[in-house]
A = this chain, B = another copy of it.
Amino acid sequence: MSTQYNIAVVGATGVVGQELIKILEERKVPVGELRPLASARSAGKTVKFNDTHIEVQELTPDSFNGIDYALFSAGGAISEEFCPHAVKAGTVCIDNTSHFRMDPTVPLVVPEVNAADAHKHNGIIANPNCSTAQLVVALKPIYDEVGIARLVISTYQSVSGAGNEAIFELEEQSRALLNGQELAPEQFPHPIAFNAIPHIDKFTENGYTKEEMKMVGETKKIMGDDTIAVTATCVRIPVFICHSESVNIKTRKKISAARVRELLQAAPGVEVVDDVANNVYPLPRAVSGKNDVQVGRIRDDISQENGIELWCVGDNLRKGAALNAIQILEELIK
């Protein structure tokens, strides 16, 4: 008889919560009880897991009795309040929000990069920001071979990172505009349909957004190297699912695009999709629903010694959120 684990999903009705439950099922994680938790507003709804419909319970401080692992994806304020209750109940929390990520006592884990860190927890393990998770998976093999000195990143991020209502907003705004009407923005600071908004999360003192500073700080923490210089510009574009990234890399030693391609072909969690002669490169619509991060447009940077350019696309709901959290869980129970 194999061990089974009781698992709570906090934020079970959200876009990432739904994906968490789907991936628990897909990957046959040995779940004993699945306990979906959400706000009072969503309590009483049901979620489907394997062949059963399970009623969503209201999240309270007492929700974690008998739970081995809790997967949190209901916003930073909820994690801040309820992770401590879960830890007190003996539950290990895998938190998908930004709240604990930069806490030096909390490991921040992408299993392909720093799986060992997952075991050094004090009850909470943080799951990185979507844009960072897919990036470090692609960078790790390059880092291990020649080191990385600096990164210049521009993102092309989908609306699903902002939740179910943001997906609906892109859909309805696009439909309205095609019919000559205008639908006022609610989920985004400006209309997202047929637009590009260089603003994700709040602005910080230095003119970068929090989203951009997450990429800077989290990349260094996961790679375990504070000397990597990172700059990022994070942009929301009218795509439903998958974030794309234009990544300019300065390596510490010279490496060729051909060698990068070879390394990435052998890397876990990465699929090289790079045959430009046949118009083959990663596209967000094609990566949607896929677990692997796709990398293409790999080329020698003509503007610097020791430079590589690449284009990296990942499903922000999977590798960028739910999949990575489940991979951390798998690492803990393996």
Contacts and interface: CB of A to CB of B under 8 A. Distances in A.
Interface of A: 150-152, 154, 156, 170-171, 174-175, 178, 189-191, 194-199, 203, 206-208, 216, 229-231, 233, 235, 237-240, 244, 246, 248, 257, 276-277, 279, 281-286, 296-304, 307, 309, 311
Given A248-B231, A304-B229, A284 B196 contact: yes
Contacts of A302: 206, 208, 216, 229-231
Contacts of A281: 198-199
A229 B307 CA distance: 12
A301 B231 CA distance: 7
The majority secondary structure among interface residues of chain A is mixed
Contact of A276 (B175, B195, B203, B233): B203
Given A156-B235, A231-B304, A233-B248, 14 more contacts: A152-B248, A152-B303, A156-B237, A189-B279, A194-B240, A196-B244, A198-B246, A198-B297, A203-B277, A207-B299, A207-B309, A229-B303, A230-B302, A230-B303
Contacts of A248: 152, 231, 233, 248
A300 B195 contact: no
Contacts of A199: 276, 279, 281
Given A235-B156, A237-B156, A304-B150, A299 B196 contact: no
A309 B233 contact: yes
Given A154-B154, A238-B194, A206 B283 contact: no
